[in-house]
Structure 1
Amino acid sequence: MISMTLEEIATVLSGRLVVRGDGAVTDVIDGYVETDSREIVDGGIFVAKPGETTDGHNFVGTALSRGARLAIVEHEVDEEISQVVVADAVAALGALAAHVVASVRARGVLRVVGITGSNGKTTTKNLLAAILSARGETVAPKNSFNNAVGAPTTMLRVTEDTEYLVSEMGASSRGQIARLVAMATPDIGVVLKVGLAHAGGFGGLDHTFTEKSAMVTTLPASAVAVLNRDDERVAAMADLTAARVVWFGLGENAHVRATDVEADRSGTRFTVTVPSGESRTVRFKVLGEHHVSNALAAAAVATELGVPLDCIVAGLESVTRAERWRMEVLGGRDDVTIINDAYNASPDSMAAALKTLALVTPPDGRRVAVLGTMAELGEFAGEEHDRIGLLAVRLRVDRLVVVGADARRLHISAINEGSWDGESVFVETADEAYAYLADELRAGDTVLVKSSNSAGLRHLGDRLGELFSW
């Protein structure tokens, strides 16, 4: 974070400053801001956020013992650490982030990129960070820090020397993206896809469209909106923004496009073409054709930031996986490949992962899909699990293992498809699935493990990867 005195922080937050211990109002703070006391490092700021199961105020002492110099609290805490008392700790976190970003921006160096979409945000963020970090100081989220807490926490890592802030902006309910955009209005706003992820919170695709379009509706004419030409809902956002539109996609009408796409278990190869007319071959190690779209989005942003195409390609090729537990390739012994994609799942990402499984499995190998629930779909859950079950059949998955009661409908839909001669197995737990697969898998199998994070199948994927590691 940029250097600020205790008094300045309190003023920005309209809070009441309580100086404790040997502190003084003129003390300068420039450490990281955290909401998890376990992440505090010396000189940091701890935000005591009330939670669903615990209260951050109970951990102010822990934060102090780890070196925190300031706590942002909703009520004064009996610990020897200076505190700023505010009405809402999360709102204060956002206000501090907005101030810090605006202060650094005023110095004329910082460029802000905002990324949203129902799928692909984290992958695109990682790809773009890999490209930009070779050009200058770049701040990007850890993991999937993209909500009302994670996004401002990332923003607060900018310093006076930061050239690029890549902000992943997600939402599970209405209004969240607009609030994040207001904290740090992007110079370049990216929208990847409008799908049914978090549909239960939004209330359907129309509301999801409205939520995601908040990324571009408030952009000024001086900004750039990078939009997916292949997604009709995203494409419709061009009419809602004053910003200059740059398209990415697979079609000829995209400014940044991919051709000659080929995929196998080692990754994806394609040719990328940018607005100047230059083209290059990309040997992309991230598995799955659907990630080509994310690579194009990153390339489009980098092009707008003046990055040469050779540097863009080098950055894309340096990334070996989308993210931990996202199309992560494991195993290899006995030619058994485990694709662990169980960090998250929506209908779109589940379908894309199954299509990748079908595409990359060698002709003499079996397609094995280990699937768990897709969470947060609300009223759409039943029909979407039905659709995925039928898709598994139509893609000729050889073995389907469905894990957990919330995903059982997927299993029923598959076995009810009369034309299928494959086998679907339902188990209640990941341990049962592991026991079954340890006996069932054979040389040449390609195994997809896919579910929402809540199902916990990512650990099953790790266990299978270890079982078949060299």
Structure 2
Amino acid sequence: MIALSLAEIAGLLGGTLHLVGDDTADTLVDGTVDTDSRLIAPGGIFVAKPGEETDGHRFVGAAVANGAALALVEHVVDEPVSQIVVADVVDALAVLAEAVVARVRAAGNLRIVGVTGSNGKTTTKNFLLRILSDEGETVAPIASFNNEVGAPLTMLRVTEQTRYLVCEFGASAPGEIARLAGLVHPDVSIVLMVGLAHAGGFGGIEETARAKAELVTATRDGGTVVLNLDDPRVFAMRALAEERGLQVRGFGQGAAADVRAEDIAVSATGTSCLIVDADGQRLPLRLQVLGAHHINNALAAIAAVSVLGVSTQDAISRLETVEIAERWRMQPMGGDRVRIINDAYNASPDSMAAALRTLAQIVEPGQRTVAVLGAMSELGENAGEEHDRIGLLAVRLNIQRIVVVGADARRLFLAAIGEGSWDGEAVFFPTSDEAFAYLQTELREGDRVLVKSSNSAGLRHLGDRLGESFS
């Protein structure tokens, strides 16, 4: 974070400053900001966030032991550290982030890129980070820091030397993207797609589309919006962008896209295509990341950085060095005998379908496809129907073993059985331990195994166990 005095921070937050030890109102603080006391480093600011299971105020002492110079609290804690008392520490975190980014931006060097979409945000964020880091100091979210806490924590990592800030905006209800993106008003905003991820919180896909369009509304005056022209709901956001006087750059596979992909091919070692940019250049791209769906994420990143002056060739060269999208996202594990693809950090109907198609595409003659599938969360009233659809798709893709794990995913198993996978091709296990024991004896040389579920289903740890077992 940029250096601010204790008095400045208290003033920005409208909080009450309680000084401890040798601190004065003019004492400067410029350490990292975090809600996890274990991650606090000397000079850091600890945000004592109340939670459902515990209360951050209980860990102020641990933060002090790690060198915290300041605590943001909702009531004074008896610990030897200066504290600023505010009504709501999460709200205060957002206010502080907005103020810090505004100060850095006023210096004239900071450009901000925002990313949203039902799927692909984290991969696209990582692609942007890889490309822009060669241009200058770039701050981007750790993992999927895209909510009311994670997004401001990312913003607060900027300093006077930061040239690019990449923000990932997630949401589970209307208004969340508007609130978060409104803290920074991106110069370049990317909308990847509108799908059923978190649809239960929005009430349906049309409401989800309106929520994603909040990023277009929050884009800085005179900025640029990068839209997926292959998604009709995203394409429709062009009208809103043009109404605001924003520049629009489209990506996709259609001829109207400013950056498009042709001749997409998927193999067990990566994904390739031909990139055609707005200048008519036709350049090959060979991603190490598995899955045709990641080509659109690459297109979005290339289109966005072109606004910032990065050439298509430079963007492609840097993208080709990315080995995995993120841990637990199409992450190759295991060995040559049995290859595990651990994609169980998150799941929606769209990402589940894309991962299954990738699995079907990467096998060679004599190899077998195995899908280990868990529940997709936050689908609301669509949950049953969407689990049915994935079960049917797995059978129709001729996935040779379908291993369904967890009671919440049982309907997926029943759909696969109903579609014809009733002779041992589809099996169900209530727990990951039971599934692991089965797979230990079932998997054989040449198997290609996808592990896919929402984070809450916990199959990412099953994927790790399988990866280690068959390494």
TM range (shorter): over 0.9
What does residue 126 of structure 2 align with?
A: 126
What does residue 325 of structure 1 align with?
A: 328
What does residue 38 of structure 2 align with?
A: 38
Give TM-score scaled by structure 1 length.
Answer: 0.98
Residue 79 of structure 1 aligns to a residue whose secondary structure is: coil
How many Å separate the matches in 1 of 2:469 and 2:371?
A: 17
What does residue 453 of structure 2 align with?
A: 451
Q: Deviations over 1:218-270 (max 9, x none)?
A: 33441000000111111111111221110010111100111111110100011
What does residue 96 of structure 1 align with?
A: 96
How many Å separate the matches in 2 of 1:218 and 1:67?
A: 37
The 5 Å alignment of 1:10-409 reads 10-241=10-241, 242=244, 243-334=246-337, 336-409=338-411
What does residue 436 of structure 2 align with?
A: 434
Alpha-carbon contact 1:398-1:423 (below 8 Å) kept: yes
Alpha-carbon contact 1:393-1:420 (below 8 Å) kept: no
Displacement of 1:78: 1.1
Displacement of 1:277: 1.7
How many Å separate the matches in 1 of 2:422 and 2:248?
A: 45
Alpha-carbon contact 2:185-2:220 (below 8 Å) kept: no
How many Å separate the matches in 1 of 2:176 and 2:302?
A: 26
Displacement of 1:77: 1.0
Displacement of 1:364: 2.2
Q: Deviations over 1:353-402 (max 9, x none)?
A: 00111111113211110000001111111111011001111111100000
Residue 387 of structure 1 aligns to a residue whose secondary structure is: helix
Match for 2:339: what amino acid? T
Displacement of 1:202: 1.1
How many Å separate the matches in 2 of 1:420 and 1:290?
A: 30
Residue 318 of structure 1 aligns to a residue whose secondary structure is: coil
Q: Deviations over 1:287-311 (max 9, x none)?
A: 0000000011111111111012221
Q: Deviations over 1:125-177 (max 9, x none)?
A: 00110000011000001000000000000000000010000000111122110
Pick which of 443-452 and 212-221 moved more.
212-221
| 1:419/1:20 CA distance change after superposition, 3 Å | closer
How many Å separate the matches in 2 of 1:288 and 1:419?
A: 25
How many Å separate the matches in 2 of 1:15 and 1:419?
A: 62
What does residue 417 of structure 1 align with?
A: 419
Alpha-carbon contact 1:151-1:167 (below 8 Å) kept: yes
How many Å separate the matches in 1 of 2:134 and 2:152?
A: 24
How many Å separate the matches in 2 of 1:300 and 1:420?
A: 46
How many Å separate the matches in 2 of 1:418 and 1:96?
A: 57
Residue 392 of structure 1 aligns to a residue whose secondary structure is: helix
Alpha-carbon contact 2:186-2:218 (below 8 Å) kept: no
Residue 166 of structure 1 aligns to a residue whose secondary structure is: strand
Q: How many residues align?
A: 468
Give me the identity figure in percent: 62
How many Å separate the matches in 1 of 2:42 and 2:276?
A: 46
Structure 1 segments unaligned to the other structure (5+ residues):
none
How many Å separate the matches in 1 of 2:89 and 2:451?
A: 38
Match for 1:81: what amino acid? V
Residue 276 of structure 1 aligns to a residue whose secondary structure is: coil
Match for 1:225: what amino acid? V
How many Å separate the matches in 1 of 2:261 and 2:212?
A: 24
Displacement of 1:422: 6.5
Residue 310 of structure 2 aligns to a residue whose secondary structure is: coil
Residue 274 of structure 2 aligns to a residue whose secondary structure is: strand
Q: Deviations over 1:190-229 (max 9, x none)?
A: 0001111111111111111111100002334410000001
Alpha-carbon contact 1:98-1:183 (below 8 Å) kept: yes
Displacement of 1:279: 2.3
Displacement of 1:283: 1.2
How many Å separate the matches in 2 of 1:134 and 1:199?
A: 37
How many Å separate the matches in 2 of 1:54 and 1:22?
A: 31
Pick which of 138-147 and 306-315 moved more.
306-315
Displacement of 1:459: 1.0
How many Å separate the matches in 2 of 1:418 and 1:365?
A: 21
What does residue 469 of structure 2 align with?
A: 467
Alpha-carbon contact 1:396-1:422 (below 8 Å) kept: no
How many Å separate the matches in 2 of 1:324 and 1:120?
A: 14
Alpha-carbon contact 1:46-1:60 (below 8 Å) kept: yes
Structure 2 segments unaligned to the other structure (5+ residues):
none
How many Å separate the matches in 2 of 1:25 and 1:159?
A: 22
Aligned residues: CA RMSD: 1.1
